[in-house]
């Protein structure tokens, strides 16, 4: 998970919102998984000991449906106000045994003149040079970060 806030930068000087200082410091507090009807819900609790920022990453899925929803909730438990600039977390699973070739990446440039101009391209072509992919275990989890764009990876049938 990555969080940027005024006065808390990144550990590198590029434009991508990765390796954030707050994200680096987030410590695991615990997790809870519950069944809610068809939904399986896992909440992961994290906290930054420097700022007092607490995060809850909620992951929801319907087993066998082939998708995962991700939501982040932040609470400032510290004494000093924080001005958040960006929050990022997305996890996807079930990517055809870890193969990325069957995926199509849909994205929109996120600047003033290009809002809602969606594009699509095969994942490998669209991601080259702009995307960071982390595999937790082959075929089980992928984390996506796309420089300056709003990514929406998916499989087209």
Write the pLDDT tens digit of every residue in 65-114.
767 778 889 999 999 999 888 887 664 555 444 455 666 666 555 555 55
pTM of the predicted model, to two decimals? 0.59
- More confident: 108 or 20: 20
What is the residue extent of each domain of the chain?
2-89, 96-155
pLDDT of residue 3: 85
Average pLDDT for residues 37-48, to the nearest whole number? Answer: 92
pLDDT of residue 46: 94
> How many angstroms from the chain centroid is the CA of residue 3?
10
pLDDT of residue 157: 45
pLDDT of residue 134: 38
pLDDT at 31 exceeding the cut of 80: yes
3-state secondary structure the chain: CEEEECCECECCCCCCCCCEHHHHHCEEEEEEEEEECCEEEEEEEEECCCCCEEEEEEEEECCCCCCCEEEEEEEECCCCCCCEEEEECCEECCCCCCCCCCEEEEEEECCCCCCCCEEEEEHHHHHCCCEEEEECCCCCCEEEEECCEEEEEEECC
Average pLDDT for residues 51-58, to the nearest whole number? Answer: 92
């Amino acid at each position: 998970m990555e969080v940027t806030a005024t006065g808390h930068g990144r550990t590198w000087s590029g434009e991508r919102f990765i390796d954030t200082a707050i994200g680096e410091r987030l410590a695991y507090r615990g997790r809870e998984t519950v069944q809610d009807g068809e939904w399986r819900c896992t909440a992961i609790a994290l906290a930054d000991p420097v700022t007092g920022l607490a995060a809850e990453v909620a992951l929801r899925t319907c087993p066998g449906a082939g998708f995962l929803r991700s939501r982040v909730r932040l609470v400032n438990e510290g004494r000093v106000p924080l001005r958040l600039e960006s929050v990022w977390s997305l996890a996807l699973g079930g990517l055809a045994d870890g193969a990325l070739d069957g995926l199509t990446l849909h994205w929109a440039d996120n600047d003033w003149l290009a809002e809602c101009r969606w594009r699509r391209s095969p994942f490998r072509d669209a991601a080259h040079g702009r995307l960071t992919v982390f595999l937790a275990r082959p075929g089980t989890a992928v984390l996506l970060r796309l420089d300056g764009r709003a990514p929406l990876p998916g499989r087209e049938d």
